[in-house]
Structure 1
Amino acid sequence: MPKISDAHREMRRAQILDAAWRCFYREGVQATTMEQIIKEADMSASAMYRYFGGKDDIIFSAISSSLTAVGKLLEPIVARDLAPAVLVERVTSDIETFSHREGYNLAAIAMHGWSEAQRDEKVRELIRGFYLGFREQLVARVVRWQAEGAVAPDADVAEVAKALQSIILGYVVQMSIMRDVDPAAHARGLAALLGAGR
């Protein structure tokens, strides 16, 4: 059997993950079977198992791949000199754009990932590690806001970062379930809340 090149392997893995995301979106992560993923990817079972060890491997890889891409998307935004409400609008807008794919929505699938984290410690540690890293970026941003006077000088920066992270993750939940939110309105609501607290 000829050796598979790294580029070909990555392309095939991406094809399989795309098929898995479509299945997860339609059926849910736990209800999706390997047979459904194999059929969606238009591959034989033997070919599929050359790239992934099984469904749990696909789930972990799908979550890891998505989080890596989101991290690359959000890091430069958080590093920019943006006011709190503007930062939330930009982050939520980019998450929304990133999430919408042909045949599925990654934000909705993310909630399945959160559910997986309750039953699979490896998945929980993966997601927890990503959110801790993102929170540290938010802490650094809050420290800069504090130096600029946008955050109270006596505020606990970690507490502010946690609240900000909750606002962003809450947008993902509302986008997936309520389906009646938009980034600009979310930012205006936060700006009004911040203004009322002064």
Structure 2
Amino acid sequence: MPKISDEAREARRLQILDAAWRCFDKEGLHATTMQDIIGVSGLSAGAVYSYFKSKDELIFAAVTTSLDRLSTLLGEAIREGRPASAPELAGLLFPLIARFAVRDGYDLRRIALLGWSEAQRNKRLGAVMRGYYAAFRDELGRLAAGWGLRSPTEADAVAKLLLSVLLGTVVQSAILEDVPGEEIALGLSLLAR
């Protein structure tokens, strides 16, 4: 049997994850079956199971792959853009989140809600998600420290607020579907007056 390249293997893995995201968006994490994912992927059961041994493993990979890519994207944007205020940060990040999340056939913001719920049940997933969000909040705190705050405690408080705004916007976007990032940036600037 010919050996496939690492690139081809990763492409196949992403094909399966794309099918899982489509199914999760449509039916939820637990109503979706492996047969659903196999059917949408267009691959054989053997091919899918050679990458993911169970649906729990697939859920874990779907959530962590999304978080890993989003964390990298947002971290790079913050480091390159160096926003000087919360409204600037919102103006920078919310369009990136929307472009990242809205895909052809599914919206990762809706799937994020499912992942947060699953993390309450699945301790391994919960621990990994806490790690991602704690690291991102730390990055927000380092950024906020440069905004003329008086102490590390103030920077930490601002970081917690900013993470709440970011996660809350994901929730509103998933549920209400009418929360453009520009409005959040405007709201933050109005509060800062």
- Band of TM-score, shorter chain: over 0.9
Q: Tell me if 1:76 matches 2:76.
A: yes
For normalisation by structure 2, the TM-score amounts to: 0.94
Deviations 1:32-70 (A, max 9, x none): 000000001011111111111111111111111111110
Q: Which residue of 1 aligns with 2:22?
A: 22
Q: Indicate the percent of aligned positions where both proteins have the same amino acid.
A: 44
Instruction: Give the partner amino acid of 1:43.
Output: L
> Which stretch shifts more, 74-83 or 18-27?
74-83
Matched, 1:186 2:184: yes
TM-fit CA distance, 1:178: 1.3
Displacement of 1:78 in angstroms is 2.0
Normalised by the length of structure 1, the TM-score is: 0.92
How far apart are 1:117 and its partner, in Å?
Answer: 0.2
Listed as ranges, the gaps of 5+ residues in structure 2 are none
Q: CA offset at residue 107 of structure 1?
A: 0.7
Aligned counterparts of 1:121 and 1:177: Cα–Cα separation in 2: 26
1:93 match: 95
Aligned pairs, number: 190
Contact 1:9–1:51 (Cα < 8 Å) also in 2 = no
Report the AA paired with residue 6 of structure 1. D
Q: Which residue of 1 aligns with 2:107?
A: 105
* CA-based RMSD: 1.2
Which of 158, 161, 186 in structure 1 is aligned with 2:156? 158
- State how 1:131-142 maps to structure 2 within 5 Å: 131-142=133-144
Higher deviation after alignment, 45-54 or 113-122: 45-54
Which residue does the alignment assign to 1:13? 13
Structure 1 residues 176-185 or 15-24, which shifts more?
176-185
Task: Give how far 1:110 is off.
Answer: 0.6
CA displacement, residues 146-175 of structure 1 (integer Å, 9 cap, x when unaligned): 2xxxx4x25621111001110111110111
Aligned 8 A contact 1:99 1:105 in 2:
yes
Contact 1:85 1:190 in 2 (8 A): yes
Question: Which of 162, 168, 171 is the equivalent residue of 2:169?
Answer: 171
TM superposition shift of 1:126:
1.3
For 2:58 and 2:134, the matched residues in 1 are separated by 23
Residue in structure 2 matched with residue 43 of structure 1 by the alignment:
43
Amino acid paired to 2:188: L
Q: Residues of 2 paired with 1:144 and 1:62: CA distance?
A: 34
> Which blocks of at least 5 consecutive residues in structure 1 are unaligned?
none
In 1, the alpha carbon distance for the partners of 2:60 and 2:119 equals 10
Q: Partners in 1 of 2:57 and 2:31 — Cα distance?
A: 16
- List, as ranges, runs of 4+ consecutive aligned residues in structure 1 with deviation greater than 3 Å: none
Name the amino acid aligned to 1:130. Y
User: Partner amino acid for 1:117?
Assistant: A
* Alpha-carbon distance between aligned partners in 1 of 2:129 and 2:87, rounded to the nearest angstrom: 25
Is the CA contact (8 Å cut-off) linking 1:174 and 1:181 kept in structure 2? yes
Q: Please tell me whether the aligned partners of residues 117 and 123 of structure 1 are also in contact (alpha carbons under 8 angstroms).
A: yes
